[in-house]
Amino acid sequence: MKKSVVVIAMLAGFLTGVPMFAHHGTGTSYDMHKVVVLKGTVTKFAMTNPHSQLYFDVTNEKGEIDHWSAEMRNPRNLESAGYTRKQLESKFAPGTQITITGNPSKAGTPVLVFGKAVTPDGWCLCNHEGGIGSEAPGVAGGGVE
C-alpha cells in the first residue's frame, strides 16, 4: 500500500512538471547567441497571457514587407516593472516607428524574443537585467546601418 502511494505521488509530480518544461523552451526555439536589431512599424500590441506580444512590419532588403512578432514578458511582469496597459498601448500604438532588439527564431521565421524597443522620442521598454536584447554584438537587419 505504501509503495503504491509513493509511486502515485512520483507519477503525479512528473506529470505536473512536464507541461512546465514544455512551455519554457526559449533556448530551444530561439537563438540566444544571436541578437538582431530591426526597424519597423507597430501593427498591434497585445497585453495578454501567457506572454504579451508586439507585432510589427519590417521592410526587407527587397523592399517587401515582413510581418514580425516579438514574444514579451507576461502582463504581470510588465506591470510589476512599473508599466501600465494604457501606457504600453499608447507607446506601441499601430503606426508607431520602433527599433526593436531581440533573439531570433532558430527556424528562421520572423519571430523573436523581445529584448528592447525604442520609439522615435527615445522612450525605451528595455530589459535592464542584461541578457536578451542587451548591448551584446549581434547581427543587424531590417535597414539598420
> Per-domain residue ranges for the chain?
26-140
CATH number attached to the domain at 26-140: 2.40.50
The pLDDT value recorded for residue 84 is 93
Q: Give this prediction's pTM.
A: 0.72
CA distance 53 to 104: 14
Q: What is the pLDDT of residues 85-124, one digit of tens each?
A: 999 999 999 999 999 999 999 998 999 999 999 999 999 9
Instruction: Tell whether the torsion through CA atoms of 38, 39, 43 and 46 is positive or negative.
Output: positive
Q: Quick one: average pLDDT of 24-36?
A: 77
Q: What is the pLDDT of residues 34-87, one digit of tens each?
A: 999 999 999 999 999 999 999 999 999 999 999 999 999 889 999 988 899 999
**Phi, then psi, of 45 in degrees rounded to 5:** -125, 130
The pLDDT value recorded for residue 128 is 55
* Length of the chain, in residues: 145
